[in-house]
Structure 1
Amino acid sequence: MKNFPTSLLGQRVVVLGGGVSGTAALRLLKERQANAVLCNSQPVPDSDVPFVGEDVILADLLPIALIVKSPGISPSHSVLSQASSLAIPVVSEVELARAFYSGKLIGVTGTDGKSTTTSLSTHLVSSDFPGATAGGNIGLAFSDFCLKPIPLAVLELSSYQLEDSGPLELNVSVILNLASDHLERHKNLDNYFAAKTRIVDSSNSQHTLVTSSKLYRERIQKLGWSCKILVFGREVGNDAFISEEDRTIKTAKSVYDAKNFPLPGGHNLDNLAASILAAEAIGAKPENIQTLLGTFKGLPHRFQNAGKAAGISFINDSKSTNLHSMLAGLNTWKDKKGTFLILGGRPKAEPLEPLRDFLNSGIGWVLLIGEARATWESIISPILGSHLITANNLEEGFAEIKTAVRSGRARVSSVIFSPACASFDLYKNFEERGEHFLRLVSDWSKEEP
């Protein structure tokens, strides 16, 4: 790999950041007998790795072979400025792990759908590549399994991970979509796109990129890349042609029947089409893909069936942390009039016009919670009027929904929790938020006779 010394044996490596990826990198470095040092705001519990604070002077630690940067660390961190002046290579945890992995690799990125597509791709190749493992930004950090003799890894890769990585030399890369997200870090959409495209081995004719027809037409086609590019979408002639009417996906190798594919929504057909192209490109047999697509269970907190109460179906989409994610799931939802949508949390810096357009398409009711009330209530109220309910938090909001349903004021068939915001105003993460929603649904179902 480009930024790596020939060996890390006995070499000093500084790991900047002690989160999930940082601690995984420390375990890998220990396995490779490197002289690892953790640079963090505080030591990692139960770790025997030497620790220095974030105000460390790198010159005092020289020689340093490498710095491994955790994705949550700001690019403007003082340690990185010092590294630049001292010409110390800086890599991501993913790039570190890549240097030690010998199997095939699929990488998945995009604004939305990454986790589903990563898990689904891993599922679709499991017959042809027994032991295929998903990881990266989902499940296990790559460093925790890169030394194992597995035939194929499928990595979810965020823009934060990619911007810190050099060439990852993947066999197949997937860029699902692009919308305004993480602009507090990337500043503008062009920078965000540039981070995402670091996943592509663009000058390698043996590399395959899978992407959407929209993104291909708008941005990628103009770049003149020499890698193979496969496009999915609803236009005839796409490498994976999606027919929502027939619920089929046609590729050069097969016509896949998706009638028994269990995930709802047109956005999940996009995820399936991308996963099929990635699985075909890596060598999975079409007949195996067809068999497996009907047995995928989906992910917790992403359009998850949360049960029923008072005759109403509940869906947990807590993983929706931006507007694009929420809209991808709800724009194809059939019964908008009968839907009570729960929005809110800490909003991200993204255009709000798509939210207005969506609300004008006929959503039945909205519950708005958390910090988003300060900016979103003035947008939603003129459109929905009395069909907008606001509350400080999810628990108060559930009480309001119950009152509206039991009084007959709100006649709804489904309640969808798709917040379109980050969770950090009220929760540690979207998982904790989703679990709270599931408990509230369970409690309501127990109240019913």
Structure 2
Amino acid sequence: MRSSPLRIAALEGRKVALWGWGREGRAAYHAIRGRLPSLPLTLFCSADEAADVVTLGDANLRAETVADAERLSAFDVVVKSPGISPYRPEAIVAAERGTRFIGGTALWFAEHANADGIVDDVVCVTGTKGKSTTTALLAHLLRADGLRTALVGNIGLPLLEILDPRPSPDVWAIELSSYQTGDVAHSGARPQVAIALNVFPEHLDWHGSHERYVEDKLRLLTGARPRIAVLNARDPRLVEVGETLTRDGDVDVRWFGHAEGWHLREDDLYRGDRFVMDTRPLPLPGRHNRGNLCAVLTAIEALGRDAIALAPRAVEFRPLPHRLQTLGTRDGVAYVNDSISTTPHASLAALDCFDDKRVAILVGGHDRGLPWEAFADAMRAHAPVAIITMGQNGPRINALLAPIAVQGSFVLGEAADLVDAMRQARAALAGEGVVLLSPGAPSFGPYKDYVARGRHFAELAGFDPEMISAIPGLGVA
């Protein structure tokens, strides 16, 4: 059953709390305050954050540091930040007692839905891998077509930070994480277009299981029911969902990676049987990103634009930081920053991009329990020069790789930290090759986030971290 829309104005007269005071939490606070300046709000946050909240001088905002089931149950609505899982025990208990948990994404979609529940001129992008580059590429090509386009969402700009831009964009290009896809369904709104790129195991600590991750990820399709769904014909799970959506009849399914639509033949881009261009000169790292160009062009067609005419403009795209980002060369060794990589699948895809180079890859980080067996199996036939493990799950990965490394196909190192991993990687390459940071795991522990990890990698490699972190094109342009 679809949830009823909950606009900000509907919070008036209800007991409302905010849970989380990161960027998303602050965006939700300011959006609510902009519409309901006197609504009493309770904020659940850390002690340090509670002290900062006092400086706001908001007499109707109260900060608390304990968000247990009893306190959460005292509220009609809790607007939570994306990183807070609704599957935490205290959230489950409160929900069973009647508390409604939503995120800023749900509020934004409810605010923008028309009378029929449709959010026009919106393209949502999700997928385990490649969604940020795909969303940015979509915005780039739409802008090249003369459309005022917003590049927002999980890519680095919370939706509620630009609730009512003036003038309004012609198109919204919105990246959604698996933490946010269910929020679109909760909003009661239907996006005009939704792109789903792929589904691999990810974020199991937040979702609780692989099955729930897949279910949550796909709720953008199965729950929100977009008017048009752009799906990867090469992903078995998406094929299954697409067939169901087609049978149900209320969603127009468009496929990419299919011979009848936009697809690649080796490195050549085709629309059906029509050759369009060679994708090798494009500044899109990895064949998977060039394949995702097909998703972008399919969505552009769904918006009624001339995708064939726009495709060559992809050559002007500026790659995103921390995503297979070549920093430069020092003493014969190139350094590639793929700090965004948080799954073993992503690390394998990164290695594929450099299969003709001598590579030392750095893997490991926060352990979310993802399986590394497929990565280890792939190393039997296609190993780089060296694999250096690090982080919390480093010993587990190292143990899987050790029997393979005994065969002498690659150097296997175990590092105490990133500094040690870089030292070992340089030694293994002996002045020729690529040091590839593609950890296949989150950064939690030593680093605040993947950006901080990537910046440290750049600094250790001898590059200015300030020059490598800005995401081009965020916001409305």
Which bracket does the TM-score occupy, shorter chain normalised?
Answer: 0.7 to 0.9
> Aligned runs of 1:16-415 on 2, under 5 Å?
16-33=19-36, 35=39, 37-42=41-46, 43=50, 44-45=52-53, 46-47=55-56, 48=58, 50-53=61-64, 54-55=66-67, 64=76, 66-75=77-86, 76=88, 78=90, 81-85=93-97, 87-101=98-112, 104-128=121-145, 130-148=147-165, 149-165=168-184, 166=186, 167-200=188-221, 206-215=227-236, 216-222=238-244, 224-226=247-249, 227-233=251-257, 236-237=259-260, 239-245=261-267, 247-251=268-272, 255-286=276-307, 289-335=310-356, 338-360=358-380, 361-385=382-406, 387-406=411-430, 412-415=432-435
- Unaligned 5+ residue runs, structure 1? 445-449
Percent identity, please: 27
Pair 1:15–1:382, CA change in 2 (3 A): same
TM-score, normalised to structure 1's length? 0.87
Could you tell which deviates more after superposition, 370-379 or 39-48? 39-48
Pair 1:9–1:377, CA change in 2 (3 A): closer
Q: Is 1:423–2:437 an aligned residue pair?
A: no
| Alignment RMSD | 2.9
Could you report, residue by residue, the CA deviation over 1:185-218 in whole angstroms, capped at 9, with x for unpaired residues?
A: 3333332222112212779684333334323335
Could you report, residue by residue, the CA deviation over 1:282-323 in whole angstroms, capped at 9, with x for unpaired residues?
A: 233225522421111111000101100122222110110111
Pair 1:109–1:91, CA change in 2 (3 A): same
Pair 1:93–1:331, CA change in 2 (3 A): same
Q: Report runs of 4+ in structure 1 exceeding 4 Å deviation.
A: 55-62, 201-205, 251-254
Give 1:179 deviation, angstroms. Answer: 1.0
Could you tell which deviates more after superposition, 195-204 or 258-267? 195-204
Equivalent of residue 7 in structure 1, options 6, 9, 13: 9
Q: What secondary structure is seen at the aligned counterpart in 1 of 2:366?
A: coil
Give 1:392 deviation, angstroms. Answer: 0.5
Distance in 2 separating the partners of 1:372 and 1:204: 38
Distance in 2 separating the partners of 1:213 and 1:132: 29
What code does the residue aligned with 1:7 have?
Answer: A
- Unaligned 5+ residue runs, structure 2? 114-119, 465-477
Distance in 1 separating the partners of 2:182 and 2:298: 25
